[in-house]
Amino acid sequence: MLTELTKVIEWTHKGKDIKELRKGDEIDSPTETTNLLNGEPSKNYTLSDNNNNNYNNNDIIGSSNSSNTTTSNRRHTWNPSQLRVITKPLRYKRRSGVYDEDKQALVQEGSGIHWIHDYVKERVRVRKLYSLKGFRGYLKTTCDSAQGWILVFLIGIVTAFFAAVVDVAAEWGSELKEGYCKENIQLKKEFCCKDVSEKNCTSWVEWSEAFNFQGDEESLWWFEYIAYVFVAFCFAVGAVVIVKYNSLYATPSTKSSTKSRIFPTKKRLIPYAAGSGIPEVKCILSGFVIRGFLGLRTLWVKAVTLAMVVSAGLTLGKEGPFVHIACCVGNIFTRLSPKYNKNEGKRREILSASAAAGVSVAFAAPIGGVLFSLEEVSYYFPSKTMVRSFFCAIVAAVTLKLLDPFGTGKTVLFQVTYDKDWHLFEIDLVYFLFSECSQESKSSELAGLCVTKPEEVKPIIYLLLVALISKFLTCIITFGIRTPAGIFIPSLLIGACIGRMLGLAVQWLTWTYPYSSFFTPLCDPHETNNCIIPGVYAMVGAASVLAGVTRMTPIMTAIMISKWVADGLVKHGIYDLLVDLNEHPYLDSNAEYVTTKSTLEICQTNLEVIDVNEANTIGELKEKLERLGYSDAGFPIVDDSTLVGYIASTELEHALQTVAKCPDSTRCYFKEFSTPEIIMSDGDSNPKGTNFVHYMDKAPLTVAQNSSLELVLELFKKLGLKYVCVVNCGHYVGVIHKKKLLAELKEMR
pTM of the model: 0.63
Predicted confidence at residue 157, as pLDDT, reads 94
Write down the pLDDT at residue 678: 47
Bridge partners, 248 (sequence order): 270
Cα–Cα distance, 602 to 709 (Å, whole number): 8
Say if residues 486 and 321 touch (Cβ distance below 8 Å).
yes
* Residues 433 and 506 sit within 8 Å (Cβ to Cβ): no
Mean pLDDT of 208-226: 85
Q: Which residues are registered as beta bridge partners of 181? A: 204
- Is the domain spanning 599-747 CATH 3.40.50.1000? The answer is no
Q: Are the C-beta atoms of 579 and 283 separated by less than 8 Å?
A: yes
Q: How far apart are CA 110 and CA 500, in angstroms?
A: 46
- Of these ranges, 140-144, 156-160, 433-437, the one predicted with the greatest mean pLDDT is 156-160
CA dihedral 66, 72, 74, 78 (to 10 degrees): 70
Give the pLDDT confidence score for residue 194 in this predicted structure: 77
The CA-CA-CA angle for residues 46, 50, 55, to 5°, reads 65
Contacts of 232 (CB under 8 A, 6+ apart): 177, 311, 312, 313
Query: What integer best gives the mean pLDDT of the chain?
Result: 71
By DSSP bridging, strand 179-181 and strand 269-270 are unpaired
456 Cβ contact partners less than 8 Å away, ≥ 6 residues apart: none
Give the DSSP per-residue string, 676-713. Answer: -----BSSSS-BSEEE-GGGSBSS--EEETTS-HHHHH
pLDDT beyond 50 at 189:
yes
Cross-strand pairs, 642: 639, 731
For the segment 427-435, the average pLDDT, to the nearest whole number, is: 32
Q: What is the CATH number of domain 148-177+233-403?
A: 1.10.3080.10
Number of DSSP helices (H) and strands (E) in the chain, helices first: 25, 12
The answer on pLDDT for 571 being more than 80 is no
pLDDT at 62: 35
Is 437 within 8 Å of 498 (Cβ atoms)?
yes
CB count within 10 Å of CB 231 equals 20
Burial class (CB in 10 A: 0-12, 13-18, 19+), 704: middle
Instruction: Report DSSP state, residue 428.
Output: G
CA pair distance 641, 632, nearest whole angstrom:
24
Contact 266, 252 (CB under 8 A): no
Positions of E strands within 182-281? 204-206, 248-249, 269-270
Higher pLDDT, 580 or 387: 387
* Chain mean position to CA 65: 59
Q: Please list the alpha-helical segments (H only) found in 404-526.
A: 457-480, 488-512
385 vs 378: CA distance, rounded Å: 10
CB 545 within 8 A of CB 494: yes
Between 718 and 412, the higher pLDDT residue: 718
Task: Report the distance separating Cα 649 and Cα 633, nearest Å.
Answer: 6
State the Cα–Cα distance between residues 449 and 470, nearest whole angstrom.
18
**Spatial distance between the Cα atoms of 413 and 423, rounded to a whole number of angstroms:** 29
Average pLDDT (533-555) is 56
Identify the residue with better confidence: 736 or 94.
736
Task: Please answer whether residues 474 and 467 qualify as being in contact, where contact means their C-beta atoms are separated by less than 8 angstroms.
Answer: no
The mean pLDDT value for 692-718 works out to: 86
Handedness of CA 230, 225, 475, 372 (dihedral sign): positive
The average pLDDT across 113-129 equals 81
Full strand arrangement of the beta sheet holding 634-639: 610-611, 634-639, 642-648, 731-737, 723-728, 702-704
Q: Which of 366, 357, 347 is nearest to 284 (CA)?
A: 347
Question: Using CA atoms, how far apart are residues 483 and 273, in angstroms rounded to an integer?
Answer: 7
Predicted pLDDT of residue 265: 43
- Residue 158 has a pLDDT of 94
- Residue burial 316-343, b: 16+ Cβ < 10 Å; e: rest: bbbbbbbbbbbbbbbbbbbeebebbbbb
CA–CA dist 112, 110 (Å, integer):
7
Nearest to 694 by CA among 672, 667, 665, 723: 672
Cβ-in-10-Å burial (0-12, 13-18, 19+) of 286 comes to: buried
In angstroms, rounded to a whole number, what is the distance separating the alpha carbons of residues 585 and 599? 19
- Angstrom CA distances, 517 to 10, 63, 505, 508, 520, stand at 103, 109, 18, 16, 5
Confidence class for position 18, pLDDT limits 50, 70, 90: very low
Residue-wise pLDDT for 590-615, tens only, equals 777 777 788 888 888 888 888 888 88
Residues of the chain with CATH 1.10.3080.10: 148-177+233-403
The C-alpha atoms of residue 519 and residue 425 are separated, in whole angstroms, by 8
Q: Which band of pLDDT confidence, cut at 50, 70 and 90, is reported for residue 651?
A: confident
Q: Are 314 and 248 in contact (CB under 8 A)?
A: no
At 635 the three-state DSSP class reads: strand
For residues 504 and 456, give the distance between their C-alpha atoms in angstroms, rounded to a whole number.
Answer: 10
Helix runs in 380-446, H state only: 383-403
Q: What confidence category does residue 487 fall into, taking pLDDT thresholds of 50, 70 and 90?
A: low
Query: Which range has the worst mean pLDDT, 66-70, 141-145, 361-365, 494-498?
Result: 66-70
Quick one: pLDDT at residue 700? Answer: 87
Pairing of strands 689-691, 667-669: parallel
Is pLDDT above 70 for 208?
A: yes
Is residue 572 over pLDDT 70? Answer: yes
Residue 65 three-state SS: coil
What's the pLDDT at 230?
92
Q: Is the pLDDT of residue 52 over 50?
A: no
Which stretch of DSSP H or E encloses residue 669? Answer: strand 667-669
pLDDT at 333: 93
Nearest to 187 by CA among 199, 201, 235: 201
Flag whether pLDDT at 395 surpasses 90: yes
- Using alpha carbons, select from 239, 355, 247, 348 the residue that is nearest to residue 293: 247
Write the pLDDT tens digit of every residue in 370-388.
888 887 788 777 778 888 9
What residue spans in the chain does CATH classification 3.10.580.10 cover? 599-747
Work out the average pLDDT over 180-197. Answer: 80
